[in-house]
Amino acid sequence: MKDLMTTAQSNRAVRRWGAPGVVMFALALALAAPGQALAAKQPRQTVEAVAPREAGEPIMAIVSIKSQQVTFYDSEGWILRAPVSTGTTGRETPAGVFAVIEKDRDHHSTMYDDAWMPNMQRITWNGIALHGGPLPGYAASHGCVRMPFDFAERLFDKTNIGMRVIISPNDAAPVDFSHPSLFVPSKEAIAAAPARADKLLVEEEEAVRAADEAKKAASAAAKEAQSLPAMLRKLEQQKARADAENAYADKLVANAKNDQARAKADELKQKAAAKAADAATQLDAAKAAAQPKRDAVAATKEAAKVAAAKKVEAVKAATDAKLAMEPVSVYISRATQKLYVRRNTHKPAPDGGGEVFDTSIEVPVTIRNPDQPIGTHIFTAMAKSGAGLRWSVVSIDEGDDAKDALDRITIPQDVWDRIAPTALPRSSIIISDEPLSAETNYRTEFVAVLSNHPQGGFITRKPTAPPVEMASDDGWGGNGFFFFGQRDPYAQPVNPRRRAGQYQYYQPAQPMPMQRSFW
């Protein structure tokens, strides 16, 4: 519309001024052109804005690198908007999919001379975050997303751990979307979830108690039988010596040359035979007494094994029941041909910083035409809608449109049956050409960066801590066993895309020690 109006105004000027006027008008346009071209290169300056309605809980934030702005959305649409300053050339803010994983109101950098980064909301452990900072009107950070100081302060208490943060190379916004492959929750399953969780929690507690008792019984039986080998070995040695003395006495009797020597040998033989018989009796009695103890060790050990297995099953069932009442996030990667599931346990990370995310589901997935790009699409359940959910989609990379991307994927039905019935608002499904970044671990939601866009502010930072194996009774930080993180925390992207002859993804040279923060 603006271009049409400009053309119409130019035509009127020709008619009004005549030929000389046209020449002067053209000259004026030519002189103004350089300034207009320079202005066109500058990002459009966004002003802070608040939606003229009551805002709900933020579900997602979308950062536009092109427009240097961030927009926050609740279930009904945008609620907050502000200018930002993203990473400068060589330290670009990575475009991709992230989530808030830690918040710190008064954060100070450990990488940049204790620089103040107030109201920090971390989205990667290697140091990319949203925070308050100076805004010169263009990209100027070391990779973080700076927001106006007052805006960051007002925003801080509104967001939660796990809120989706999408960093897009261009302008992007959620669009209403529907598709049969998206979660369709069951009203009955959602209503029954709390009672089911309580019931399974009781069963878990009983299973844990039974496992502990069985373990104690097995330990007591093993302790009681602990001295058996040494005692039996001592009696066997005594019997061996007695048998040797008895055999020696037999030789003396056989070799006796006279009655006196024979009588002496017979007396020694009687004593040796009695001693050997007594040693054999003691050994047989000890063996007989030891057998029940050995049987008890085997029985209690087996009982402890069975109880431990029941405990694992009960813990898993109770954990799934608790997680069923949390929004679920699914990531489907064309690069790895896998589907990953993440849900926040809201348990503090045992090594400090952030919260633990459940990572127990990781399965192969079938993608039709796997060599063809599919794009990066973030489907989000914005709110309840009748008996189902109202969905939106944000697409931030070239490839199929959102519908075609979902059509190409065959999702394992057993996984959907496990998580879809209790899917809640703020659940999400992400489809991408990209593998999960090595930044994805037990303390993060999904972290995936677009490999065909600059990542300088991401690549130059040290890698995050590798996943660790930790003890857990309930899968959330107790005394049993639970495995956090990916199988290969330093796995590199499969089929990465190129940009200017360089692979644009994070590639740590070697595992690094656990550190709380690098920036």
pLDDT digits (tens, 9 = 90+) for 3-27: 333 333 333 333 333 344 433 433 3
pLDDT recorded at residue 23 = 38
Bridge-based pairing state of the strands 145-147 and 129-132:
parallel
Tens digit of each residue's pLDDT (9 = 90 or more) over 70-109: 999 999 999 999 999 999 999 999 999 999 999 999 877 6
pLDDT tier at 45, thresholds 50, 70, 90: low
pLDDT tier at 463, thresholds 50, 70, 90: low
Helix/strand/coil for 470: strand
Q: Which long-range contacts (CB under 8 A, 24 or more apart) does 298-306 make?
A: 299/221, 300/214, 300/217, 300/218, 300/220, 300/221, 300/222, 301/218, 301/221, 301/222, 303/214, 303/217, 303/218, 304/211, 304/214, 304/215, 304/217, 304/218, 306/214
Question: Which one of 200-209, 281-290, 477-486 scores highest in mean pLDDT?
Answer: 200-209
Of 207-211, 223-227, 419-423, the poorest mean pLDDT is in: 223-227
pLDDT exceeds cutoff 50 at 506? no
* Structure token digits, residue 283: 């050994």
Give the CA diameter of the chain: 161
pLDDT recorded at residue 507 = 33
pLDDT tier at 227, thresholds 50, 70, 90: confident
pLDDT exceeds cutoff 60 at 268? yes
Contact 8, 44 (CB under 8 A): no
DSSP state of 442: T
| Residues 325, 469: Cα–Cα separation, whole Å | 25
| Residues 453, 316: Cα–Cα separation, whole Å | 40
Q: What is the mean pLDDT of the chain?
A: 81
pLDDT recorded at residue 464 = 66
Q: At what angle do helices 259-323 and 187-224 cross, to 10 degrees?
A: 160
With the C-alpha atoms ordered 271, 273, 276, 281, is the resulting torsion angle positive or negative?
Answer: negative
The answer for residues whose C-beta is within 8 angstroms of residue 448's C-beta and 6 or more apart is: 96, 97, 331, 333, 376, 430, 432, 434, 435, 436, 437, 440
How many other CB atoms are there within 10 angstroms of residue 247's CB atom? 11
pLDDT recorded at residue 28 = 40
Contact 60, 428 (CB under 8 A): no
pLDDT recorded at residue 221 = 87
Comparing 35 with 376, the larger pLDDT belongs to 376
pLDDT recorded at residue 477 = 40
Cα within 13 Å of Cα(123), Cβ side: 31
Cα within 13 Å of Cα(469), Cβ side: 4
pLDDT exceeds cutoff 60 at 469? no
Contact 96, 169 (CB under 8 A): no
* Structure token digits, residue 198: 């309580």
Instruction: Give the angle subtended at the CA of 91 by the CAs of 142 and 356, to the nearest 5°.
Output: 70
How many other CB atoms are there within 10 angstroms of residue 235's CB atom? 18
Strand intervals (E) in 349-424: 355-364, 366-367, 377-385, 388-395, 409-410
b (16+ CB within 10 A) / e for 303-337: bbeebbebbeebbbbbbbbbbbebbbbbbbbbbbe
Active site residues: 131, 144
Contact 48, 152 (CB under 8 A): no
Backbone dihedral angles phi then psi of residue 7, each to the nearest 5 degrees: -65, -45
Which pTM was predicted? 0.72
Contact 52, 45 (CB under 8 A): no
